[in-house]
Amino acid sequence: MAEFGGYEMPLWYSSAKTEHVTVLTHAGIFDTSHMAVVTVEGADAFTLLQLCFSRDLTKCIKPISRGSIVPKRCIYGVFLDEKGGVVDDAIVYKGNDEHYMCVVNAGMGEILIQHLSQFSSRMDARVINLTDKVGKMDIQGPMSAKIFEKILKEPEKVYENFPYFSFKGSFYSSPITNNTVILKNGTNILLSRTGYTGEFGFEVFSASSQLVEIWQMVLKAGEEFGIIPCGLAARDSLRTGAMLPLSHQDIGNWPFIRNPWNFALPYNLDYTGFTKEFIGSHAILENKEDDYTYAFVGDDLRKVTVSEESEVMDTENHVIGTVLTCVSDMGIGRIDGRIYSITSPDKPERFNPKGLSCGFIKVNSKLEIGHAVELRDTRRSLKVRVVDSIRPNLTARKRIKQML
Amino acid sequence: MKEISELSLPEDVRYSDDHEWARQEGSLVRGGISDYAQDQLGDIIFVELPGTGETFEKGEECGTIESVKTVSELYMPVGGEITAINENLAEHPELVNNEPYDGGWMIEIRPTDFGEMDSLKGKDAYLKILKG
């Protein structure tokens, strides 16, 4: 067990490597009740979020109207301070213009509320911390839909027309959708096509009192499909391989610009500017001196230890930056120069991934994709390359029909 | 992770404070990391061992043990010359997890001073450290 964000959580239940690979090949469940959930409600809910959230809420949510249970959309972005640094990253779930739900990181509920309250004094917008009332778990991996089908009351209706980054159902007393997702034991849940692994699956929200029973139902239903519970170690290696940032480690109190997560910013079509102003937007557009954050992959699975003593060196032995994250993705390997995942449909026969180190670095100059740098800690010096993708063949966006 | 009562603690080895074990085998000493160490580290994915012929002092760092989550040091349980290393660990680092005292052995040493074995702990004293 380890301390994380004020909660005691398991690093692994069985084995970090087995958990990482099992999510890629079968399914895994993660207890993510440590995450914070905050709702923004009122006539000015849209106005407040449009001011503070990095995504342009007028542009990124196209309504879906087909299907007997109509899903709503959710979007990933960041809340910045006036200097352009990250307060936290979040997935914002839109019920309607007067009702949003924001899912942020452990311990960040009150911080987000305080941040938003700086800008909401003349607005009709209430920000409510639901964290302690919410239980959450993630089910991720190719078997997720088959497993969850067994515990849903009306799986065909729920699965029909349920695209990536949309959600159905509600679990709290002021519902965010006008539809329901009910489990066979009668529990109402909010089910979203989101996650933190890059692989196909769902996040499940319920009243906190219901979550243990849901966890047990999912484990039982998933037994025949090889589901296992997964801890923080696998969560970290899976998200890094999927090139997802960890808040307060890969993104933080430095300007949110020149990093692999451009999609979180409201760029216009030719990338010359943003489609809206928001808190922090001027700081990041105007500042030309900031560091660059890049993803990297190593030659083999060996890592450096991330600490104050870990450095990034260029080919002439100058220190050019720091290491933000370094993990071993045990689901990938290199054959003849190409990286395959255990999920790659064209992987060679008998492919047994040896694992590759990967992560993020923050450097003081622009580097091209493919550029080699050296990561150094007190023990080792590793050659790695800057990349624009790590684990290939991510399955998160696949259509549910394909996964049944 | 295992409870202390579930840990394997053979009688025929001696233990260091850094969770290595050492077993006398004739004029040589074989060493590795304890069941407690492998359990705490989790899945071992890479082991870096010294070269045969190299000499280290007791307690000196002589290699690394890498798990999915961390990179840790391997320390010499007693000082001496490395006479052999476990070549199987290159392809099968998981032997350290599955058989920490047998198939997962790491180094074979010709000790400079057998007396250093006495300063290592027997099973009961090591268990005391683990219980804190």
Please give the domain boundaries of chain B with CATH numbers for all domains: 12-131 (2.40.50.100)
Is there a domain that residue A242 lies in?
no
Contacts of B68 in chain A (CB under 8 A): 16-17, 20, 233, 237, 327-328, 330
Looking at the structure, do residues A164 and A30 belong to the same domain, yes or no? yes
pLDDT tens-digit map of A286-297: 878 789 999 999
Looking at the structure, do residues A223 and A352 belong to the same domain, yes or no? no
Is there a domain that residue A61 lies in?
yes
Looking at the structure, do residues A231 and A316 belong to the same domain, yes or no? no
The number of C-beta contacts closer than 8 angstroms across A and B is 48
Confidence band for A96, pLDDT divided at 50, 70 and 90:
confident
Q: Is the pLDDT of residue A69 over 70?
A: no
**Residue among B1, B46, B69 whose CB faces A302 most closely:** B46
Is there a domain that residue A317 lies in?
yes
A237 touches chain B (CB under 8 A): yes
% of residues, chain A, pLDDT over 70? 97
- DSSP codes joined into one string, A111-140: HHHHHHHTT-TTS--EEEE-GGGEEEEEEE
Mean pLDDT of chain A: 94
Looking at the structure, do residues A58 and A207 belong to the same domain, yes or no? yes
Looking at the structure, do residues A225 and A305 belong to the same domain, yes or no? no
B43 touches chain A (CB under 8 A): yes
| Bigger pLDDT: A216 vs A60 | A216
Looking at the structure, do residues A10 and A132 belong to the same domain, yes or no? yes
Confidence band for A66, pLDDT divided at 50, 70 and 90:
low
**Which pLDDT does position A290 carry in this prediction?**
81
Contact B66 A380 (CB under 8 A): no
**Residue among B46, B66, B69 whose CB faces A233 most closely:** B69
Task: Give the mean pLDDT of A373-384.
Answer: 95
- DSSP codes joined into one string, B70-131: -EEEEE-SS-EEEEEE-GGGGT-TTHHHH-TTTTT--EEEEES-THHHHTSB-HHHHHHHHH
Task: Give the mean pLDDT of B10-39.
Answer: 96
Task: Give the mean pLDDT of A109-119.
Answer: 96
Q: Is the pLDDT of residue A64 over 80?
A: no
CATH number of the domain that A357 lies in? 2.40.30.110
A228 touches chain B (CB under 8 A): no
Question: Which one of A237, A257, A274 terminates a domain?
Answer: A237
Residue of A283, A273, A271, A243 whose CA lies nearest to A259: A243
Contacts of A233 in chain B (CB under 8 A): 42, 68-69
B98 touches chain A (CB under 8 A): no
Question: Which one of A191, A220, A237 terminates a domain?
Answer: A237
Task: Give the mean pLDDT of A77-90.
Answer: 97
Residues β-bridged to residue A100 = A40, A94
Instruction: Kindly list the distances between the CA atom of residue A27 and the CA atoms of A137, A154, A240, in Å, as whole numbers in the listed order.
Output: 13, 21, 18
Is there a domain that residue A206 lies in?
yes
Looking at the structure, do residues A59 and A150 belong to the same domain, yes or no? yes
**Which pLDDT does position B98 carry in this prediction?**
97
pTM (two decimals): 0.95
Is there a domain that residue A282 lies in?
no
Give residue A62's Cα distance to chain centre.
Answer: 21
Q: To 10 degrees, what angle do helices A232-241 and A16-25 make?
A: 50
pLDDT tens-digit map of A29-43: 999 999 999 999 999
% of residues, chain A, pLDDT over 90? 88
**Which pLDDT does position B35 carry in this prediction?**
98
**Which pLDDT does position A376 carry in this prediction?**
97
Q: Is the pLDDT of residue A61 over 80?
A: no
Total number of domains in chain A: 2
Question: Which one of A168, A202, A237 terminates a domain?
Answer: A237
Looking at the structure, do residues A126 and A225 belong to the same domain, yes or no? yes
The 10 Å Cβ neighbour count of residue A2 is 12
**Which pLDDT does position A250 carry in this prediction?**
98
- Domain span at residue A385 reads 291-404
**Residue among A300, A330, A379 whose CB faces B68 most closely:** A330
Is there a domain that residue A185 lies in?
yes
Q: Is the pLDDT of residue A213 over 70?
A: yes
Contacts of A23 in chain B (CB under 8 A): none
Q: Is the pLDDT of residue B122 over 70?
A: yes
Q: Tokens standing for A46?
A: 């849209």
Looking at the structure, do residues A161 and A306 belong to the same domain, yes or no? no
Q: How many whole angstroms separate alpha carbon A317 and alpha carbon A374?
A: 8
Q: How many whole angstroms separate alpha carbon A31 and alpha carbon A215?
A: 8
Q: Is the pLDDT of residue B99 over 90?
A: yes
pLDDT tens-digit map of A302-337: 999 999 889 999 999 999 999 999 999 999 999 999
Q: Is the pLDDT of residue A391 over 80?
A: yes
Contact A328 B70 (CB under 8 A): no
Confidence band for A65, pLDDT divided at 50, 70 and 90:
low
